[in-house]
Amino acid sequence: MPIFSKNYLTKIALNILETAGVPKNEARTITDFIIKSNLAGHDSQGIIRLTDYLNLFKKREGKLGIKIKIVRETPSTAVIDGKWGFGQIVTSQAMRIAVQKAKKSSVGVVSVRHCNHIGRLSNYAIIATKQHMIGIVIVNGTRVNVAPYGGCDPRLSTNPICIAIPTKKKPLVLDMSSSVVCEGKVRVKRNAKAKVPIGWLIDRNAKPITNPLHFYGPPRQSILPLGGIAAYKGFGLGFMFDILAGGLSGAGCSNRDNKCIGNAIFMEAIKIRSFMPLRKFYLEVEKFIEFVKSSKTAPGFKEILVPGEIENRTIKERNKKGIFIDNGTWSEIKNRAKELGINT
């Protein structure tokens, strides 16, 4: 049960990426984003992705040192071709463009195609909050993993949404897939040789799956849409998000025609000051948080947490106690390091 410090994992990831040929500045951005995900407790978007990224680079599907191209633009919108650069590199640039546009035009909507896996959406949405803006990121993907409501073949990606809203203290951050669980969490269970709860996965006959290996197939089985008895709502969200991300960007919905494993992205920055004086907005949000937290808790709960709060606590804790990496993931990373002649 290996536990590592943030600094150690950062060093290893950087070393692996740079030795594999990723330019220093790109390796730094990628490493920063994946280690931040581990720190926040979202191991599914953390260092577990490193071997995937190396494969992308090896197969020349993840391009290095690219310059993104704006293919269509207005003062408040842009469509960006990421030219299959690494997701972290392309998306952070694209979000900065959305923020620039919102600075001048109050709202910036940017659509991105031809972009590799971008990892945890929060990393990008919070770029907007630093400028007193609301950041929204919606994504679809090339790998179909999620069954439609009433169906049992995978037809959608886990199509997540992130909404980040600044406050006087830390931003509120909601970062969630439109499926009951994101694929990465199934992967974490697989690597830890653990079972998954009933209600996450079904097979091609709509029977529940609890063994994550069975999910990965081949053939790939399905994650259920979010919602339980109202799963048509989670399916509806995932379906509409697919069009926002894939339809507006030109990447394609459900990314069917793309050969690379990537994401298409819809991102938006909204300047709060164009709607409300900042002081008034922040005060109202503060009162709202207080009001929601004042609810009596249900049995088994100690307090009401607002979006992003649990992650902020995990960051504090993991900065102090370190990051636990499951054996499966760690042995994958060690093997890759060894291949590159790096000691772990």
Q: Which residue has the tokens 């970062």?
A: 175
Strands 107-116 and 77-85: parallel
Task: Tell which one of 229, 279, 320, 343 touches a second copy (CB under 8 A).
Answer: 229
Q: Considering only CA atoms, which of 283, 264, 261, 262 is closest in space to residue 272?
A: 283
Binding mask 184-223 for a second copy (x = CB under 8 A): -------------x-x--x-xxx-----------------
Q: Considering only CA atoms, which of 62, 96, 104 is closest in space to residue 80?
A: 96
- Shortest Å, Cβ 18 to a second copy: 36
How many Cβ atoms from other residues are within 10 Å of residue 341's Cβ? 7
Indicate whether 297 belongs to the interface with a second copy (CB under 8 A): yes
Q: Which of residues 301-320 bind a second copy (CB under 8 A)?
A: 301, 303-307
Indicate whether 156 belongs to the interface with a second copy (CB under 8 A): yes
- Shortest Å, Cβ 244 to a second copy: 7
Cβ pair 177, 158 in contact under 8 A: yes
Task: Tell which one of 7, 58, 292, 317 touches a second copy (CB under 8 A).
Answer: 292
Task: Tell which one of 119, 135, 234, 262 touches a second copy (CB under 8 A).
Answer: 234
Task: Tell which one of 23, 288, 321, 327 touches a second copy (CB under 8 A).
Answer: 288
At 34, list the tokens. 């994946």
Give just the sign of the alpha carbon dihedral 232, 233, 238, 242.
positive
* Cα(41)–Cα(44) distance, integer angstroms: 9
Indicate whether 124 belongs to the interface with a second copy (CB under 8 A): no
Task: Tell which one of 296, 320, 341, 343 touches a second copy (CB under 8 A).
Answer: 296
Q: Give SS3 for 163.
A: strand
Q: Which stretch binds a second copy (CB under 8 A): 85-93, 150-158, 213-221, 328-336?
A: 150-158
Nearest-10 Cα torsion for 85, 89, 90, 93: -150
Task: Tell which one of 24, 280, 316, 321 touches a second copy (CB under 8 A).
Answer: 280
Closer of 21 and 197 to a second copy (Cβ): 197
Binding mask 46-75 for a second copy (x = CB under 8 A): --------------------------x-xx
* Cα(299)–Cα(189) distance, integer angstroms: 27
At 64, list the tokens. 């290095």
Give just the sign of the alpha carbon dihedral 11, 185, 246, 163.
negative
Indicate whether 172 belongs to the interface with a second copy (CB under 8 A): yes
Task: Tell which one of 2, 41, 227, 322 touches a second copy (CB under 8 A).
Answer: 227
Task: Tell which one of 1, 218, 294, 320 touches a second copy (CB under 8 A).
Answer: 294
179 bridge partner residues: 225
